[in-house]
Copies of this chain bind each other. A is one copy, B any other.
Amino acid sequence: MKRSAPAAKRRQSVPQVRFRMRITHGDDIAVGPGKVALLEAIEQTGSITAAAKSLDMSYRRAWLLLDELNRSLREPAVDCSQGGRRGGGSALTEVGRQLVALYRRIELTAETECRGDIRKLLSLLTR
């Protein structure tokens, strides 16, 4: 196969490994990197509006993601009782905090335990 590009840009960069876990539930993605990032942003900013903004996401999109997530969980991940829909603060529930912590620990474990094979795989790539 022809190696058609000069690839100068690629050669300047170092390959990045990204591990992503998704939990699908029927046709939905119940838990994935987008929802986890949104929960983290809510924890940091204290509101869905600010979290959505920090992720360059519409409020509507954030709300739909949270709705889908909450419906996949035994208990909601976000407590919006501190304000109205566009109003005051939102916070993660205990379940929301557990979900974020487990998800990030799983990613870290995967990267750590697979380090040797990942290094071998990266050795196949151009630098």
CB pair B71 A3 closer than 8 Å: yes
Bound form: Cα–Cα A98–B123 in Å? 11
Instruction: Give me 15 other A-B pairs in contact (C-beta within 8 A), A3-B71, A16-B24 excluded.
Output: A1-B67, A3-B67, A9-B26, A9-B27, A10-B28, A12-B26, A13-B26, A19-B20, A20-B20, A21-B118, A23-B125, A71-B126, A72-B126, A105-B117, A106-B114
Bound form: Cα–Cα A125–B28 in Å? 13
Binding site for B on A (CB under 8 A): 1-5, 7, 9-10, 12-13, 15-28, 30-31, 63, 66-67, 70-76, 78, 80, 95, 98-99, 102-103, 105-106, 109-110, 113-114, 117-118, 120-122, 124-126
CB pair A121 B95 closer than 8 Å: no
Which single member of B2, B74, B76, B106 contacts A117 (CB below 8 Å)?
Answer: B106
Which single member of B4, B27, B70, B114 contacts A1 (CB below 8 Å)?
Answer: B70
Bound form: Cα–Cα A110–B17 in Å? 14
CB pair B22 A18 closer than 8 Å: yes
CB pair B124 A5 closer than 8 Å: no
CB pair A73 B117 closer than 8 Å: no
